[in-house]
Structure 1
């Protein structure tokens, strides 16, 4: 009878340990899964930015053939693209560095603004607007800009779900212990809601 006295507390302790381990394991694995979803969304954002990056040289060359004296606008696009340099496909560690993420977003925003100005300038050149190569590039660029908006929204949704999950108690304890950090979000670029001004 005496030997059974310690058996019940041992069983209770074992059940608590197993339940705690199971809960920790499940939460940790869920965090890993959600983090990987955010990284996959980030890869899609990078893919569409890379597509836009690759379209720009052909677009600039086509416009240059018809509107060579719009050198200021063409230079702005070329410089904005050059400034991006290695900032199209970068490490996903930037997602947990708000300052680096802000720099990435700002550089992409500058390129978007320069491309908008280029499209506005092209409206003044009927021959350019009739050029089949330019029209094809313009369609591809518009499609790419739409994809960028969609992929950024998907990224923000996955990042928001992940951030909310790791901030909730008691999961935040596991997240802090295991190095799961908050992810940055894409924000609307300041002035993105206004059309670019073009002077002639």
Structure 2
């Protein structure tokens, strides 16, 4: 072998070594995204498990609000289905978007239930309802923290997967950029409360 052949082999080996390193880093970051979604999933399951208990307590007081209770149960079912799909594909933009929409609908229906509950003093005073409401609020906060951790991992992955020349390895190996998980709160819930005197 002549010097040119050796130089070509060295360059080829260096490129292969670099590509393997980039691929391994992409896989590691991709796995971190899946782990971060697992943390969200735990909190979403907790939220989904609280909803039937909340509805059952409210059902005894809200005899004339069956539509509100049914809307909450239906939204919970849709959110559970979206969470299952997201669990299977935690980096897919479509499944994460569907999850955000479904969780937003669940949050909206729960918010409506809480507004309706305000009109029933006995329900507001019920210790079980108060405990469940507090637990739900705590879970919502945990979901927010877990969503931030997930989005941080997505950002790290996307930064690497979309920069040249690493984008070449990402595209060749089928690792497209991952989707951020948007807030599950509706625009109305995001608004700052207005105080009037």
Contact 1:77 1:111 in 2 (8 A): yes
Post-superposition shift, 1:194? 4.0
TM superposition score normalised by structure 2: 0.86
Tell me the TM-score normalized by structure 1.
Answer: 0.85
Distance 1:178 1:95 in 2: 15
Q: Which structure 2 residues correspond to residues 2-151 of structure 1 after superposition, within 5 A?
A: 7-90=2-85, 91-93=87-89, 95-96=91-92, 98-151=93-146
- Runs of 5+ unmatched residues, structure 1: 1-5, 196-200
Any idea what SS the aligned residue of 1:187 has? coil
Distance in 2 of aligned mates of 1:81 and 1:190: 16
Q: Deviations over 1:82-124 (max 9, x none)?
A: 333422223432632x333322221111000011111222222
Which 4+ stretches in 1 moved above 4 angstroms? none
- Deviation at 1:7? 4.4
Q: Deviations over 1:105-146 (max 9, x none)?
A: 211110000111112222222222222211211111001111
Any idea what SS the aligned residue of 1:88 has?
A: helix
Task: Classify the secondary structure of the residue corresponding to 1:182.
Answer: coil
Give yes or no for contact 1:39–1:92 (8 Å, CA) kept in 2: no
Q: Find the structure with the greater CA-based Rg.
A: 1
Structure 2: runs of 5 or more not aligned: 193-197
Measured after TM superposition, the shift of residue 21 of structure 1 is 1.8
- The DSSP-based 3-state class of the residue aligned with 1:186 is coil
CA positional deviation for 1:51: 0.8
